[in-house]
Amino acid sequence: MFEAVIMDLDGLLVDSERWQIKAWQEYLKRFEVELDEFDAVKLQDQRDYDNAEYLRRRFDLDTDPLTMQEERQEIFMRLAEENIELMPGTNEALQLLKESEFRLAVVSAGVREYIYLMMDKFGWGEVFDVIVAGDMIDASKPNPMPFLACAETFALHPSECLVLEDSRNGVEAAIAAGMQVICVPGPTTERWRITGADVVLTDLDYLNLPTIRSIWHEGENYNTPQLQPQLAPQPRRGRWS
């Protein structure tokens, strides 16, 4: 059985993606620049520094990406503390996984300051064993390195780790890392674009142990992408077995 479950943060556990974009929109007002839908999509799942560099080049801004990242981060931290809420089923899913004695990790493009804010805001200080933040590693999804770094920290083979993701980039990174992956498409993720996930769920309320067991194969837990991901059968009701 899997030893660890690795989770994304934004769009999976917390409903934060619109506030991520709003922070960039507020920041760019000082340059009299507006984000269109194309640019907003480009900013998903990337590290803040990478987004800053993209926007600097895109709009020929007279600043450097590190300054942009830091100044935008001040705006986002305020918005995050005031507005970000949990995605449906988040606490119930975390309770299920902790009671089932999985080791838990967050792998996010967000910086440590933001991740720790979410830990404090939602009382998750003792929930996660490992955190891999965007400012801890020089790569972002779909590069598998963040997931591989997490497995190495756990001292586990990648095949012993299950990934929960909400985006196409996250799914591709998990597959490239040799990990099984369950996708719960986030608010900005079009469901039809998710290919290769072992299971696709509507939301975390549908996560249960039979679904997790169904994608574990003792002794041969190799990741083989599926063109048509299976859907989990039923949501949980109350407590879980």
pLDDT in tens, 108-152: 999 999 999 999 999 999 999 999 999 999 888 999 999 999 999
Could you give the 3-state DSSP secondary structure of residue 34?
A: coil
Q: Kindly list the structural domains of the chain, giving each domain's residue range(s) and its CATH number in brackets, ordered by start.
A: 4-14+86-231 (3.40.50.1000), 17-83 (1.10.150)
Q: Which residues contact 92 (CB under 8 A, 6 or more apart)?
A: 204, 205, 236
Give me the pLDDT at residue 100, please: 97
By residue count, the chain amounts to 241
Angle between helices 65-83 and 17-28 (to 10 degrees): 130
Question: In whole angstroms, what is the distance from residue 143 CA to residue 197 CA?
Answer: 16
User: Residue 11 in contact with residue 87, Cβ under 8 Å?
Assistant: yes
Whole-number pLDDT of residue 140: 87
Whole-number average pLDDT of the chain: 88
pLDDT-above-70 percentage for the chain: 88
pLDDT score, position 193: 63
| CA gap 198, 229 in Å, rounded | 6
What's this model's pTM, rounded to 2 decimal places? 0.86
Q: What is the pLDDT of residue 191?
A: 64
Give the residues of the chain that fall short of pLDDT 70. 190-193, 217-241
